[in-house]
Structure 1
């Protein structure tokens, strides 16, 4: 039998909000689009009207993207070099495009999850001034 998690009336599910952000959807309803372009967060969800312009993801998405991509690429380069010793031009042919593709693919996904995390924890402007459940991060 699965354990039921009980939330206080104003509490938000962090895992669900981050999962919705990972799918590039509104962390509140999961229906509206999170981005109006590649990395531009919409001001307001078109489905539920939730204000999303408060996010302050700043440098976190690029940092986590570089961390993940760096680990994947370095592990691949080392594995290929130790196993087959290919010429440097083959390394460049494989790893440079893969680095760019992985970085561009992961960046919006990671940014979406961080916006979902901020929304769920009522960080920055995602909580009203009269919200007793808000976490102060100032």
Structure 2
């Protein structure tokens, strides 16, 4: 129940938060302030996004995964159709850019939602 006596909205799943850029607490579409830049906090519920450490993990995996997929697709197209070089130079950078930006948004949002859901915190070693 929320403060007004109504039922609080259900928290989105990790997949929903990742695909739609939803706040992992309230489900509002307030996670991003830019293309792939997190907002400082949720405008709806006040969850502080700055406290989460997504880091460069999504970027590293996307570089390897998307680079492999684009290379395989470019080679398959070249072997099948033999388009001119200028067509490769026009198509593949745009495909790569779109895939990286779209994938980075989804991966960062999903990782932040997973950190929130699992209450992940920085590791500490007790002495």
User: What is the TM-score when the length of structure 1 is the normalising length?
Assistant: 0.70
Kindly tell me the number of residue pairs found equivalent between the two proteins.
114
Kindly report which structure 2 residues correspond to 1:43-122, keeping only aligned pairs within 5 A, or say none.
Answer: 43-122=40-119
For residues 40 and 90 of structure 2, the distance between their equivalents in structure 1, rounded to whole angstroms, comes to 40
Q: CA deviation at 1:63?
A: 1.3
Q: CA deviation at 1:26?
A: 0.2
Q: CA deviation at 1:64?
A: 2.5
Q: Relative contact order, CA 8 A, sep 6+: which one is greater? A: 1
Contact 1:18 1:114 in 2 (8 A): no
Q: CA deviation at 1:46?
A: 1.6
TM-superposition CA deviations, 1:32-83 (whole Å, max 9, x none): 4101222332232122222221111111121122133213211211211221
Q: Which runs of 5+ in 1 are unaligned?
A: 1-12, 125-135
Which residue of 2 is the match for residue 35 of structure 1? Answer: 32
User: What is the TM-score when the length of structure 2 is the normalising length?
Assistant: 0.75
